[in-house]
Amino acid sequence: MPVVADFVLIQEHAVNIGDAGTQLYERTFNTGGRQVRATALLMLMVRGLTLSNSGVVAVRINNQFIGNIEHHPGANANHWFTQMIPFPGNILHSGDNELEIQARPYTGNPNDNFDDFSIQSVVCFFHQNA
């Protein structure tokens, strides 16, 4: 039996999350014909998340936690980092899905509520029925 895979581009261009943008990033994407028992993979580019010394950003698909976006304390806030989150394929629907990424709270400054970051090139890879 052949193994078939597909991918969907969820977000191409940079989006700011935090004080300078949205506090809750939500996007709908379609994974029609996905295979339930195979692992899926979310890949994205992240810039920022350099102020917080602890914590990560939770990522949810269809209201289920799939993993975290890791922070890079002390890194150059202008550099992009690739992050990958493998997750069970049964979290995906064979149709529309919702990706949620929430801003990371930051308490280092009373006028700055979040450790601002950007994401781009968000792609979901999934196995598909042949």
Nearest to 101 by CA among 54, 53, 46: 46
CATH number of domain containing 51: 2.60.120.1200
Q: Domain of 86? A: 4-128
For 51-93, the pLDDT digits (tens) are 776 668 899 999 999 999 998 888 898 999 999 999 999 999 9
For 97-129, the pLDDT digits (tens) are 999 999 887 766 667 677 888 999 999 999 997
**CA 21, CA 82: separation in Å to the nearest integer?**
21
* Pairing between β-strand 24-30 and β-strand 96-102 as defined by DSSP bridges: antiparallel
Work out how many domains the chain is built from and give that number.
1
